[in-house]
Structure 1
Amino acid sequence: LVGYTNVGKSTLLNALAGATVLVADQPFATLDPTTRRMALPGGGALLVSDTVGFINKLPPALIAAFRATLEELNDADLLVHVVDVGHPNLHERMIVVRETLASLDLASRESLIVFNKTDTLRGAEGDALREALAAEFPAAVFVSAQTGEGVEALRERLAATAASRWTKVDVTVPYNEGGLLQRVRERGSLRNTEYSEAGIRIEADVPADLAAELTASARANRAQI
């Protein structure tokens, strides 16, 4: 989760992962990255990290510490850009975030815009703003981390993004490598298991590195049968 300071990233992490992260209405409430597991509907989980809020014209004395807290963004598969939908300068703040990401060589990293705090939008003016932003950013997700509106839709979007990066496997591994099944449950989405004399058949969607391990185990298992 990335975004300008005080846009509700910590509250959103709490809503997504059931975490308990400090929520404060002040800049730099989150100074260290906080990572939590978000369970997926079909099993497995995503790791979601809350990061320090960006700010325009950061004081020079804080720049080094600020960048150090963002090092783990280099390992992120997806940057979720959280925006305070009701802030009058939201476009300017979005530019600050994009420029900061560019300075970290992350401008080309896949990202998803999430407009948070939809509960602050009121009446016809709020509806008009939401419609305008939806037209400008058609792939964006609108949520209220405070009330829960749209959070499930965001979970589904994140799950779909993860699934698009995973590999489908249908393999039979030996019983002495049954620990692989637990790793599938932890890291992927398990669709089916069958137990036979040949071993444990696993049908699942998993990250590429785990798919390679499963395939190698299945290949060795076939050679022994």
Structure 2
Amino acid sequence: MSIIAENLKKVRSEIESSASNNSRYASDITLLAVSKTRPTDDIRIAANEGQVHFGENYLQESLNKIDELKELKLCWHFIGPLQSNKTRAVAENFDWLHTLDRLKIAKRLSEQRPTELEPLNVCIQVNISNEESKSGCLPDELTTLVDEISKLPNICIRGLMAIPKATQDPKEQKAAFAKMKALQLELQTKHPQLDTLSMGMSGDMDTAIAEGSTIVRIGTAIFGPRAPKSA
């Protein structure tokens, strides 16, 4: 068994354990393998082990991978920041976008999504820790943004995404994720289709699952450390 296969088995076991410890079903939690900077051979190995969902941050790199691996019928998630001049490529090639935070971008995605494809699944990125250095909609702006985006025909709001402020304090992690869950529940009173919470990475996955995460984004724990960029 390859290292990637072993790592996948371990991560899946951790998800199952965390779900069980928090009275949840592991089948309700999607493992998103973050494959940015990884070669297609690594993605093929993971796909051969039953991994379907892959997350990419860098657009041109990801488009090359999607084309090279198209026979595998994978589900591709764009999880990096998205500029206006790159919306068409995401609208035409991806199944999910996790980083939507502006109505302008949403309108472009809806206009550019090919009609023969299913609506693009999107998560609204929330700046849950109110960090100046991070993208994302502020919590008090969220209701209005969701109301407006929900009117667009070719994208489907599925939920919320957040990357809380980095901390090793479990109480701080829990508070941020709990706030995300509360926002989801509030929005569901008007938008019941918001079934997704994309939150939790290698260092805080267990806490995120405890607070209701439905997609965890895991990279290094599956593929190993990324090689340093050459000078």
**TM-score for the superposition, normalised by structure 1:** 0.36
- Between structures 1 and 2, the one with greater strand share: 1
**TM-score for the superposition, normalised by structure 2:** 0.36
Structure ID, larger Rg: 1
